[in-house]
Amino acid sequence: MAGEAKAKKEAKPKAEKEAKPKAEKAPKAEKEPKAPKAKAEPKKRKPAAAEGKAKKPKKDKDAPKKGLSAFMLFSKENREQLKKDQPDLSFGEVGKELGKMWKDADDKTKGKYNDMAKKEKERADKEIAAYKAKKEGAGAAPAKAKEEDDDDDEGAEDEEDDEED
């Protein structure tokens, strides 16, 4: 019995295979063993000058900061109150909410902060001008002192030559 059931199972799939016409397959090409791949090297970036971009000068850490904008002054005053009213807001959500508040603010409120921003800008401009003047004055002084030192040395050599004669 077991042999007959096995023969039927084998016969059935053969009959199904014969009933369906098969598309002829091309013989498989022999595969060459693959060499292990080396890790890809990271792309090297070209220097900024080579890309046609001018190099950005390094920021002076001692330079005074620019004045705050009207929105930044508004945010500075209202951030803490917003955090107290809605403590569950994330950092980004606080910024979004402050933006909405600024957008919805009336002209009187915006005018107040715009006036504050103008004063802040004037203050910052004065500080920057004073800093630049100080920096230029300080940068030129050591160069003059060095030149004076060089002149003194030459005079000393002349005196030594005179003493030998």
Q: What is the pLDDT of residue 146?
A: 46
- What are the tens digits of pLDDT across the range 49-101? 555 677 888 888 888 889 999 999 999 999 999 999 999 999 999 999 999 99
Report d(CA 72, CA 115) in Å as an integer: 13
- What are the tens digits of pLDDT across the range 36-63? 666 667 677 665 555 567 788 888 888 8
Interior/surface letters 119-134, b for 16+ CB within 10 angstroms, e for the rest: ebeeeeeeeeeeeeee
Domain ranges in the chain?
70-164
Tally of CB atoms within 10 A around 154: 9
Report d(CA 86, CA 78) in Å as an integer: 12
Helix (H, G, I), strand (E, B) or coil at 32: coil
| 112 Cβ contact list (under 8 Å, min separation 6) | none
CATH topology of domain 70-164: DNA Binding (I), subunit A (1.10.30)
